[in-house]
């Protein structure tokens, strides 16, 4: 018995994380014969695919953050808690949260996603800037704009270069998209807002360990993306690993050093470990090994979906990619299975249906591969917008966001270049 949540006769499902997986699952379970408790550190869902636009001052945080309470305003037997999970006891079936303390569960769904992976490099972790949350994207925006402001009054050439140049590590969709958006900023915004700066002094580097960008796409799409970025003036460096970073010097595996005050780290993700889980549940990248029903191997009534889950099967020995589509499909499958359980119906094994892969490169350009069809350019960009819109919750939200995007994208000069920090909260 716990007093911090209302009691009911219904079985309680506790979902940790309100990302694509957790939110979708929660929405699919509304109206079911379960009590649902959704726990997240933030009070909003973050629409990750557009974070790069927040970082480059193209969209407001509120355009890609959805207050969770608003989504579930009308639901009964539904509870949202804004808290952090410290540990789990899978024998006694309860969680310990940072503020609330003990929360019991009947079924637990781990959907806590994945964090930035610095591959154990403590220097990089301390000095690089990640972009896995809206908070981080906002910090990046503040830093980019703040450094432009500072550069205005710096007469020392070397120091000014450090402030103006930006190094991005990781040639996946995040790295490619932020590189494209920064190149656009250099092209369209810099000459207008900072005409005292010499645009040619701004260098944007995109560094990748492999021999092609967007490795998940075909060679053709990868080459297309690279060509687009090169056309936009991005310096693409392949087959190169960043070995170290001290806040200024980016040391590359070939021994070269690039000087920059901003290292954007989009080189990989790893799931975190949750205290209380046995060591044998963790697979590659600390992802939780699950069976075909997303149940964590060896544990009862504990499920994992989304980026933190790893489902390895005979015909899929590497598991599915850590993308929003997998997360949402797993959530839908698990919701159906949990409802089936109540009706003693059989469980349906999960199979990922790859709907395609895409990435935008700056304004009006994108590469896309849908059902084996590869295309790029403006139509690919429109498709990208459409597919992402479809992933956003609620018809009303879809419309609102679409208007937001249309205005944001076509005016070319949003009034959003604010270096904004809430004053530190007192009395906390």
DSSP, residue by residue, 219-260: HHHHHHHHHHHHHTT-EEE-S--EEEE-SSEEEETTS-EEE-
For position 70 contacting its own copies by CB under 8 A, the verdict is: yes
User: For residue 390, what are the contacts with CB-CB under 8 A and spacing of at least 6?
Assistant: 398
Nearer to its own copies, 43 or 121 (CB): 43
Residue tagged active-site, from 162, 177, 295, 369: 177
The size of the interface with its own copies (CB under 8 A), counted in residues, is 66
Q: Are 328 and 305 in contact (CB under 8 A)?
A: no
Distance, in Å, from the CA atom of 210 to the CA atom of 172, rounded to the nearest integer, reads 10
Of residues 3, 317, 371, 390, which one binds its own copies by CB under 8 A? 3
Of residues 30, 32, 43, 251, which one binds its own copies by CB under 8 A? 43
Nearer to its own copies, 163 or 236 (CB): 163
For position 62 contacting its own copies by CB under 8 A, the verdict is: yes
Distance, in Å, from the CA atom of 217 to the CA atom of 240, rounded to the nearest integer, reads 20
Binding characters for its own copies, 112-131, by CB under 8 A (x = yes): --------------xxxx--
Give the interface segment with its own copies, choosing from 42-50, 108-116, 219-227, 287-295 (CB under 8 A).
42-50
For position 96 contacting its own copies by CB under 8 A, the verdict is: no
Distance, in Å, from the CA atom of 365 to the CA atom of 229, rounded to the nearest integer, reads 10
For position 419 contacting its own copies by CB under 8 A, the verdict is: yes
Which residues within the stretch 124-183 sit at the binding site for its own copies (CB under 8 A)?
126-129, 133-136, 138-139, 141-143, 145-146, 149-150, 152-153, 155
Which residues within the stretch 352-371 sit at the binding site for its own copies (CB under 8 A)?
none
Binding characters for its own copies, 301-330, by CB under 8 A (x = yes): ------------------------------
| DSSP summary character for residue 189 | I
φ, ψ of residue 99 in degrees (nearest 5): -95, -45
Q: Are 113 and 17 in contact (CB under 8 A)?
A: yes
For position 416 contacting its own copies by CB under 8 A, the verdict is: yes
Instruction: Report in angstroms how near the CB of residue 48 gets to its own copies at its nearest.
Output: 15
Give the residue from 248, 228, 250, 230 showing the smallest Cα distance to 240: 250
Instruction: Report in angstroms how near the CB of residue 392 gets to its own copies at its nearest.
Output: 12
Residue 9, Cα to own-chain centre: how many angstroms?
Answer: 36
Distance, in Å, from the CA atom of 174 to the CA atom of 171, rounded to the nearest integer, reads 7
For position 391 contacting its own copies by CB under 8 A, the verdict is: no
**Angle (nearest 5°) at CA 105 between 103 and 111:** 95
Q: Can 196 be counted among the known catalytic residues?
A: no
| DSSP summary character for residue 129 | B
**Angle (nearest 5°) at CA 117 between 142 and 325:** 90
Which residues within the stretch 4-23 sit at the binding site for its own copies (CB under 8 A)?
4-6
Which ranges constitute the DSSP H helices of 111-189? Answer: 122-127, 134-151, 157-164, 173-184
Which residues within the stretch 217-236 sit at the binding site for its own copies (CB under 8 A)?
none
Nearer to its own copies, 28 or 143 (CB): 143
Hey, which residues are catalytic here?
A: 177
Residues near its own copies (CB under 8 A): 3-6, 42-44, 60-62, 65-67, 69-70, 73, 79, 81-83, 99-100, 126-129, 133-136, 138-139, 141-143, 145-146, 149-150, 152-153, 155, 192-194, 196, 247, 261-262, 397, 400, 413, 415-428
């Amino acid at each position: 018995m716990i007093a911090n949540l209302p009691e009911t006769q219904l079985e309680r499902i506790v979902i940790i994380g309100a990302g694509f997986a957790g939110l979708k699952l929660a929405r699919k379970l509304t109206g079911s014969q379960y009590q649902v408790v959704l726990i997240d550190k933030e009070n909003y869902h973050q629409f990750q695919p557009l974070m790069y636009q927040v970082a480059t001052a193209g969209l407001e945080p509120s355009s890609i953050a959805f207050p969770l309470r608003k989504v579930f305003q009308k639901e009964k037997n539904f509870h949202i808690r804004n808290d952090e999970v410290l540990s789990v006891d899978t024998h006694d079936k309860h969680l310990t949260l940072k503020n609330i303390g003990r929360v019991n569960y009947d079924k637990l769904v781990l959907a806590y996603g994945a964090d930035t992976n610095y591959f154990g490099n403590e220097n990089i972790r301390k000095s690089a800037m990640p972009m896995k949350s809206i908070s981080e994207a906002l910090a990046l925006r503040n830093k980019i704009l703040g450094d432009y402001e500072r550069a205005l009054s710096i007469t020392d050439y070397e120091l000014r270069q450090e402030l103006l140049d930006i190094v991005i590590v990781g040639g996946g969709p995040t790295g490619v998209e932020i590189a494209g958006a920064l190149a656009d900023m250099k092209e369209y915004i810099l000459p207008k807002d900072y005409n005292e700066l010499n645009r040619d002094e701004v260098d944007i580097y995109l560094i990748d360990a492999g021999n092609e960008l967007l490795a998940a796409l075909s060679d053709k799409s990868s080459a297309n993306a690279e060509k687009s970025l090169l056309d936009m003036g991005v310096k693409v460096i392949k087959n190169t690993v960043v070995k170290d970073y001290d806040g200024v010097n980016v040391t590359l595996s070939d021994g070269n050093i690039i000087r920059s005050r901003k290292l954007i780290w989009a080189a990989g993700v790893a799931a975190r470990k949750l205290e209380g889980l046995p060591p044998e549940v963790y697979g590659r990248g600390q992802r939780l090994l699950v069976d075909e029903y997303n149940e964590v191997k060896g544990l009862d009534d504990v499920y994992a979906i989304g980026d933190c889950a790893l489902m390895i099967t005979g015909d899929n020995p590497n598991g599915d990619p850590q993308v929003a589509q997998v997360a949402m499909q797993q959530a839908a499958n698990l919701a159906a299975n949990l409802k089936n359980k109540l009706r003693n119906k059989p469980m349906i094994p999960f199979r990922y249906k790859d709907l395609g892969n895409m990435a935008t490169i700056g304004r009006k350009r994108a590469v896309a591969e849908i059902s084996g069809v590869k295309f790029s350019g403006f139509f690919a960009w429109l498709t990208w917008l459409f597919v992402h819109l479809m992933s956003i919750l609620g018809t009303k939200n879809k419309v609102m966001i679409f208007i937001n995007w249309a205005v944001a994208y076509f005016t070319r000069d949003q009034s959003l270049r604010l270096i904004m920090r809430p004053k530190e909260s007192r009395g906390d």
